[in-house]
Amino acid sequence: MNKGPLSNQSIQFSIDIVNYYKWLVSEKNEFVLSKQILRSGTGIGANIHEADYAVSKADFISKMQIALKETSETEYWLIVLEQTDFLPEEFSFLKESCISLKKMLVATLNTSKNN
């Protein structure tokens, strides 16, 4: 399914977050922070995809705003996990992916609000 860069990147990010979650649980026996990042990290794409079926422009903007909030929360958890030595080098790309999603969401929201 090729819906567009934002949608596709959000799907890949969710897959990467799920793999990171599985690593945290199996390799680090970490069950609290791992659930937090799993929820917020996969919530980004869920809200982006829900926005595809928005009933109005306001609904679309609302769903994208929620996705942006989830992105911000995920970025927070990645910072906490990194600073507590729970983010190994092999998953450090998640930070850049999260920032990229945030930039795309901000651009989408700005365009939607200005049209």
pTM: 0.94
> Cα angle at 75 between 73 and 76, to 5 degrees?
65
Q: What is the pLDDT of residue 115?
A: 85
Q: What average pLDDT does the segment 40-63 reach?
A: 97
Residue 76 half-sphere exposure toward CB, CA atoms < 13 A: 10
All domains in the chain, ordered by first residue: 5-114 (1.20.1440.60)
- Rounded CA-CA distance 94/90 in Å is 9
The pLDDT tens digits for 61-111 are 999 999 999 999 999 999 999 999 999 999 999 999 999 999 999 999 999
